[in-house]
Structure 1
Amino acid sequence: MKQKIVIKVQVVCDKCRTKALKIAATAYGVASVALEGQDRDQVVVIGNEVDVSCLTSSLRKKVGHATIVSVEEVKPKSDDKKKEDTSNKEGDKDKKGGTENKCSCPTPLCACSPPCYQPQLVFYDHDPYQPTCTIM
């Protein structure tokens, strides 16, 4: 299910805008990112299975104040003729030996949380009957 998410971000300069776009583009499940609004302060994200709260919190941490404006489902266009024409063209490409452009790269589960690392504990043996002072 494709979603269209609109997040309003407090941006001061162009550097903040590009930073917000980069953060939104690296989130899991994002298909496209754009800026909208009169002041270009709304980040519009379209994608599948996008974690809205995770994306908003990462924007808050790295850019500034961010609020969710809307989350809505994107309905596919109902042009049956165009779908049939494109499916025939893709079928012809596959028959001619064309390759599909599908990425098999693993994607992170959530861009807002760093990976968890377990601290390694080091144990030292201490003999209570042996003196700790090396001078004696």
Structure 2
Amino acid sequence: MKQKIVIRLPMNDDKSRSKALKTVVGVSKHLESAALIGTEKNQLEVVGEGIDAVVLTRALRKNVAHADLVSVTKDKKSEEKKGDTKKKNEASVPPPDVWYSVPYYNGHHYPIHVVREPSYDPCTIM
């Protein structure tokens, strides 16, 4: 499930913004996008799958400045895109063909053998 996380940070210069983006990319493995939003570019929007918001906020507090977790929501855009692609894929892919073949070599059919589990008797040597 893709989620959108918004975190507020006091970022006054380009150095702190760059450091915040590097921290986000380093912490989250399944990151889809990270962007600065807001009128003052003081909010960080992270979109991805399986991102832990608390771990991300702690890393930003440790490396950049005090961070406030604003919201964690499902990403509506990715759900709409997935729904459209699933419908297209289902309609365009024909059902798979089922083939059955009997082993055949030099004009002779091989007999079918029944394989059973061997029965082991407990061996008492001593």
Name the TM tier (shorter chain): 0.5 to 0.7
Aligned residue for 1:59?
60
Following TM superposition, where does structure 1 have runs of at least 4 consecutive aligned residues deviating by more than 3 angstroms? 78-83
Q: Determine what percentage of the aligned residue pairs are the same residue.
A: 42
Q: CA deviation at 1:80?
A: 3.3
Please list, as runs of the form range in 1=range in 2, the aligned pairs for 1:1-136 lying within 5 A after superposition.
1-26=1-26, 27-75=28-76, 76-77=79-80, 80=84, 84=88
RMSD: 2.3
Count of aligned residue pairs for this structure pair? 88
Change (3 A) 1:81 1:22: closer
Q: CA deviation at 1:81?
A: 7.4
**Matched residues in 1 for 2:87 and 2:36: separation?**
29
Q: CA deviation at 1:48?
A: 0.7
Instruction: Give the alignment's TM-score, normalised by structure 2.
Output: 0.62
**Matched residues in 2 for 1:29 and 1:69: separation?**
20
Change (3 A) 1:14 1:52: same
Change (3 A) 1:49 1:81: closer
**Matched residues in 1 for 2:72 and 2:30: separation?**
15
Aligned residue for 1:120?
none
Instruction: Give the alignment's TM-score, normalised by structure 1.
Output: 0.57
Give the aligned residue type for 1:56: T
Change (3 A) 1:9 1:74: same
**Between Structure 1 and Structure 2, whose CA radius of gyration is higher?**
2
